[in-house]
Amino acid sequence: MAQFAGACRYVYNLALEQRRNWYRPGRKISFASQCREVTQLRAEVDWIRAAPADALHQAMRDLDAAYRSWWAGRSGPPRPRRKSSTDSFRFPDPENFRIKRTGRSSGKIKLPKIGWVSFRGWTDIPGALKNVTVVRRAGKWFASVQHEYILTQSEPPPSAVGIDMGVAVFATLSDGTSIAPANHGKKALRALRKAQRALARKKKGSANRRKAVLRIARIQQRVANARKDFLHKHSTAIAKSHGIVVMEDLKVRAMSASAKGTAEEPGSKVRQKSGLNRSILDQGWHMFRTMLAYKLKDRGGELILVPPQYTSQMCSECGHISSDNRKSQAAFTCTSCGHKANADCNAAINILRRADSALKPVEGHRIKRPDEAGTSRGEVA
């Protein structure tokens, strides 16, 4: 599997170099032309011919998709793949791989030119197989299987709820329910810093340095797995209980931008802002929103995104907006009508009311409905 991933990485970087350095007006370099050149390369190089042809062609498809995303403004320019950080390959034809269950939480998958490989973490696949992607993360191999199935129309719960996301409190619902933050990254920060200091003392290119890098990757992977488990549990509970969920359309990238500024105009309170950015990213707001979107859709519900302006400063009783309404982090006191409430719960009620029964734009902003999809993943033993 490492050899196949290395061959796919090599042809990907070679094709990227060709597009960067050999492009000329009038000379068309496309997915089809590069696939033909990969076929010629397989005839000349033995270790590339050892890798499956369709996996190499999928690397060309990934590069073509990266360029299309860049041209559409959805991402930055494609970058070369690095060893150990992007080790993956994909088989697009479901006729070339098979999956069997061997135990309560185990199974095996048959891959071209590899054979049967046992894995842990069996998940039922309720639909037709489309493709399988094998990827290595923190020294472990994972198989991500994409499948297609027909959604059965079900009647969603009639209730609607607004959610206010935060750092001190992960989420507060408009019905008064609050979810405490898990702060998985903060809990692992001490071990991560210790491992990073150990890495800094290792000689570059040594075996001990590779071990230190793997140790850091495993710590980060444990944090990511724990965070994902936390988000899955709470998003599933909300999707089962409510048919309509309203959230703020938060721009996490802008909220977590650095405050250090430039040499000419240095920023202020850089250290405090750095800690806040770390806490914001540790919550996983965007992943939580993505999970809610597809889980609600599977159950016939809907996730609605509304503009976040003034939701924390608006009174849920009289609608008065003032920065003086929220002088503390937890308490809300309206300076107009005297209404007192929990600040996060008051904001969640305002978020819910932003999406009215007609679902019209609020305050000149467009209400969004995200459309997301999910995949099933198993860990290869």
Catalytic residue among 64, 87, 302, 344: 344
Q: At 116, list the tokens.
A: 């049967």
Distance CA 380, CA 115 (A): 13
Catalytic residue among 64, 164, 282, 302: 164
Burial class (CB in 10 A: 0-12, 13-18, 19+), 51: buried
**Strand 178-179 to 115-120 pairing:** unpaired
Q: At 188, list the tokens.
A: 């692992």
Annotated active-site residue 17? The verdict is no
Catalytic residue among 62, 64, 87, 248: 248
Angle, vertex CA 144, rays to CA 154 and CA 126, nearest 5: 30
Is residue 109 within 8 A of residue 98, CB to CB? The reply is: yes
Three state DSSP letters for the chain: CHHHHHHHHHHHHHHHHHHHHCCECCECCCHHHHHHHHHHHHHHCHHHHCCCHHHHHHHHHHHHHHHHHHHCCCCCCCCCCCCCCCCEEEECCHHHCEEEECCCCEEEEEECCCEEEEEECCCCCCCEEEEEEEEEECCEEEEEEEEECCCCCCCCCCCEEEEEECCCCCEEECCCCEECCCCHHHHCHHHHHHHHHHHHCCCCCCHHHHHHHHHHHHHHHHHHHHHHHHHHHHHHHHHHHCCEEEEECCCHHHHCCCCCECCCCECCCHHHHHHHHHHHHHHCHHHHHHHHHHHHHHCCCEEEEECCCCCCCECCCCCCECHHHCCCCCEEECCCCCCEEEHHHHHHHHHHHHCCCCCCCECCECCECCCCCCCEEEEEC
Distance CA 314, CA 330 (A): 14
Annotated active-site residue 344? The verdict is yes
Active site residues: 164, 248, 344
